[in-house]
Amino acid sequence: MSSTRPVIVVRDVVNRFGAQVVHDGVSFDVQPGEIFGIVGGSGSGKSVLLRTLLGLRRPDSGTVEIEDREVTAMDDLELREIKRRYGVTFQHGALFTSLTVAENITLPVAEALDLDEDALARLVELRLRMVGLPLDTAAKHPAQLSGGMVKRVALARALALDPSILFRDEPTAGLDPIAASAFDELVLYLRDTLRLTIVMVTHDLDTLARTCDRVAVLVDRKVIVDSLEGIVANEHPWIRHYFHGGRGRAVRALQENARGT
């Protein structure tokens, strides 16, 4: 696979619910090894876009290709097959509350492969080490974990099948700034070592500035894709408001720092 071919190709995607049009011709590419951020106001269809990329929702028209295979044209069986190639983390972790952490992590592996207990235990150790959790977490139940730990376990579970693409919905929502920035570093590190492609929906401007190579902004039912600098300089009123409002300061400070050095 040539490194310049995009991993995800989205072309002219239209999503509508009844008379309400959420996406009206959304197109963008995601390059391999890239961290791609998706932002947009409430109700702008970020989650719908993510669900469309994941194949959980078929768009009303348009196509989504992942690794040169058209997700939007697949039947359910093929979809299930390709879903093993990517990992997903949900906003609230979506850990299975009745299973231990170890069982949560090994569930997709045990489902896909025939491995013995010992190998599964070793894989649990690996994934916990990868996301920087102490190994005694394995026997705990999700209810016994803090919010940050839940997100890490969710990441460990998403990585369980060595995906090439990772989709993440609000990865740092609900984390304190220290935990959030540790999490950003972890994701950057994993991207660099594993050459993962990461697509994330986020509202966290710090995360956006720290990790994302390119940003897609959903406005007016379309998408504007650019580097973060390009987006921040964009003249669209909503984007100006988003990045230049009170909360946008961190991003601008970072930009100015980058320019200064």
Partner 1 sequence: MEATRTAAPSVLQVDIGGTLDIGPSWLLRGLLADLRAAGASVELLRPAPAHFDYLDDLAGHDAGALPAQQQASLAAWLARLGGGLRQRVVNWYAALAFGGRLIASAAPAWRSLKRMRIPSIVRHMHETGVQAIPVVAVIALLISVISAYIGAQQLRPFGAEIFTVDLVAIGVLRELGVLLTAIMVAGRTGSAYAAELGVMKLNDEVDALESMGMNPYEVLVLPRVVALVLVMPLLTIVADAMGLAGGALLTGYLLDLPWSQFVMRLDSAVGETTFWAGLVKAPVFGLLIGLTGTLRGLQVRESSRELGRLTTVAVVQSIFLVIFADALFAIYFLEIDF
* Residues at the interface with partner 1 (CB under 8 A): 97-98, 102, 109, 119, 121-126, 128-130, 132-136, 138-139, 141-143, 159-162, 193-194
Spell out the alpha helix ranges (H) of 84-136: 101-112, 117-130
82: helix, coil or strand?
helix
- In angstroms, give the least distance from the CB of 232 to partner 1: 34
With respect to partner 1, which residue has the nearer C-beta, 57 or 140? 140
With respect to partner 1, which residue has the nearer C-beta, 17 or 96? 96
CB 7 within 8 A of CB 67: yes
- In angstroms, give the least distance from the CB of 105 to partner 1: 11
Which whole-number Å values give the CA distances from 130 to 11, 117, 119, in the listed order?
35, 20, 16
User: What is the residue whose two structure tokens read 């609230």?
Assistant: 92
With residue 168 as reference, give the H or E element that holds it: strand 165-169
With respect to partner 1, which residue has the nearer C-beta, 133 or 225? 133
With respect to partner 1, which residue has the nearer C-beta, 130 or 250? 130
What are all long-range contacts of 81-86, with beta carbons under 8 Å and residues at least 24 apart?
A: 82/55, 83/54, 83/55, 84/108, 84/112, 84/161, 84/163, 85/161, 85/163, 85/164, 85/165, 86/54, 86/163, 86/164, 86/165, 86/166, 86/167
- In angstroms, give the least distance from the CB of 179 to partner 1: 18
Q: Which of 44, 42, 63, 61 is nearest to 53 (CA)?
A: 63
- In angstroms, give the least distance from the CB of 188 to partner 1: 14
With respect to partner 1, which residue has the nearer C-beta, 50 or 160? 160
With respect to partner 1, which residue has the nearer C-beta, 122 or 222? 122
- In angstroms, give the least distance from the CB of 222 to partner 1: 36
- In angstroms, give the least distance from the CB of 129 to partner 1: 5
